[in-house]
Amino acid sequence: MKIISEISELRQQITTWRQQGLKIAFVPTMGNLHAGHISLITEAHRHADKVVASIFVNPMQFGVNEDIGNYPRTMESDQQKLVAANTDLLFTPTPAVIYPKGLDKQSYVEVPNVSDGYCGESRPGHFRGVSTVVCKLFNLVQPDVACFGLKDYQQVQVIQTMVEDLSMPIEIIPVATTREDNGLALSSRNGYLTEEELKIAPALAQNIQWLAQEIKTNNDFVGLAKQATNFINNAGMKTDYIHICHASTLQPASEDDKELVILAAAHCGKARLIDNLQVSL
């Protein structure tokens, strides 16, 4: 695996592969890798000749009350996992490489509507930071395909919308959420959970599963979401939101919608956990 941190060297390698007629897949990450990330690498190999991953803790997507300094950085073990998954190239830029003018003078990309609610409302500016850095990384790597985990369903919708709206020649491949046996979605933030909180956290996924069954016979979506909120709170978590939405637009679901997604976020101790489940009626 080649490890590159400078743009010029990255572009040189991408140009060489392009001249050889090779297809390139890309998996952008913020590091602290787990089995969910590696599933993205595995999927990327199915669609391309070369797989590029990036590790960059993006300061633009952290809010004023979110401590980027505490975000776990595990570069050595991350590299070992990527080597084991046969990753061809790892791009590890610094903030100075990605934002040479600083954040205040950096041009940005904003994706309206799908960025607005849910995590976009709870974390103002978050999706502006996500879409800007992904757009920039896409311009640098120039992949044919890029893989994103469906654990962050709203993020996938934001990226897909950006690619469509800006006419980027990139296929976005959503990859199913990797879970523990108890249903808990794998996340770097699970590392913040205490032993006792790890017993509570699966309640988020369990209540989404309950909702998915209920909405097949009951279209009181608002009432059901309130029930699920109470269940999650009574389990010892603090619900940020739980909504039943149209799967593509992320607008509140109507009784005529057939393709839905349940979006949920809750605080468990220091960790803010997100999860979702798609439902076809």
Please give, one letter per residue, the 3-state secondary structure of 100-128: CCCHHHCCCCCCCCCCCCCHHHHCCCHHH
CB 273 within 8 A of CB 187: yes
Q: What is the pLDDT of residue 63?
A: 87
Options 34, 37, 47, 243, the catalytic residue: 37
- Residue where the block lists tokens 């469509």: 164
Does residue 163 contact residue 170 with C-beta atoms inside 8 Å? Answer: yes
DSSP H or E segment with residue 83? helix 75-84
What's the confidence (pLDDT) of residue 160? Answer: 98
User: Which residues, given as ranges, of the chain have pLDDT below 70?
Assistant: none
The two three-digit tokens of residue 115, written as one number: 């960025």
- Is residue 45 flagged as an active site residue? no
Residue with tokens 């998954």: 85
In the block, residue with structure tokens 């089995």: 35
Per-residue confidence (pLDDT) for residue 64, from 0 to 100: 81
pLDDT at 69: 87
The predicted pLDDT at position 144 comes to 98
The pLDDT of residue 66 is 82
Backbone angles phi, psi at 268, to 5 degrees: -130, 100
CB 150 within 8 A of CB 176: yes
pLDDT at 272: 94
Decide: residue 190, CB within 10 A, 0-12 exposed, 13-18 middle, 19+ buried: middle
Beta bridge partners of 243: 263
